[in-house]
Chains A and B, each alone.
Chain A
Amino acid sequence: DTGVSQDPRHKITKRGQNVTFRCDPISEHNRLYWYRQTLGQGPEFLTYFQNEAQLEKSRLLSDRFSAERPKGSFSTLEIQRTEQGDSAMYLCASSLAISPGTEAFFGQGTRLTVV
């Protein structure tokens, strides 16, 4: 197992375009999280899944953002009609939620630049 994998690592897109990121969690991890990290800030929670169910969404997640985890394994995060303010590092994490506060393992992130 190579840990949490995110693809692509970098994405440059023009404003108004749609982008999709993929996250492959650690095998058998039932929880998957998405965070966003802007320059000089800590990661901010966006949403999380337990298996295929999306259990919580942050108010940061506008209606242009959608996340899926169709089979409870990998997840995708799509941003429609990108704006310059969407430029950030998008981090995925996974955990095996057997008890509260279980350690989350993070991927290396996808860096999005909107020009």
Chain B
Amino acid sequence: AQSVTQPDIHITVSEGASLELRCNYSYGATPYLFWYVQSPGQGLQLLLKYFSGDTLVQGIKGFEAEFKRSQSSFNLRKPSVHWSDAAEYFCAVGPLGTDKLIFGTGTRLQVFP
């Protein structure tokens, strides 16, 4: 069955520190891969997506993600976290041939000043 695993439920970092959020997926082929962010009271916002080509993708707000086929991973990174990055982050896959998204359970990021 198709699934997305975000092993870290909650991560706390200091402002200015680097960040890596993990995402692993289970799917027969390489699906479309997405990272969304959800701030309190806000809708889900797309940070970045991977379809094919360069395995390092750049997104908005200084985020990037690297697709590693051998590890079935699509980890999200940011070199220097800002207090405004505190939010819930969701990894999602879009199985080929469909337009629905399968989301992970999310990682809540807390940023200390």
Interface size bucket, B side? 20 to 34
How many residue pairs, one in A and one in B, have C-beta atoms under 8 Å apart? 61
Residue of A nearest to B96 (CB): A100
Residues of chain A contacted by B101 (CB below 8 angstroms): 35, 43, 45, 104
Q: A108-B43, A109-B43 are in contact. Are A97 and B103 (CB under 8 A)?
A: no
Check if B98 is an interface residue, CB within 8 A of chain A.
yes
Per the bound structure, the CA–CA distance linking A3 and B43 in Å amounts to: 10
- A41 pairs with B105, CB closer than 8 A: yes
Pairwise interchain contact A40-B105, C-beta atoms closer than 8 A? yes
- B67 CB to closest chain A CB (Å) equals 14
What's the Cα separation between A3 and B106 when bound, in Å? 23
CA–CA, A60 and B100, complex, Å = 14
Question: B44 is contacted by which of A41, A48, A91, A95 (Cβ under 8 Å)?
Answer: A91
- Considering only residues 64-113 of chain B, those with a C-beta below 8 Å from chain A are 90, 92, 94, 96-106
Give chain A residues whose Cβ lies under 8 Å from the Cβ of B49: 101, 103
Q: In the complex the two chains form, is A42's CB within 8 Å of B106's CB?
A: yes
Q: Which residues of A contact B (CB under 8 A)?
A: 3-4, 31, 33, 35, 40-45, 48, 56, 91, 93, 95, 97, 100-109
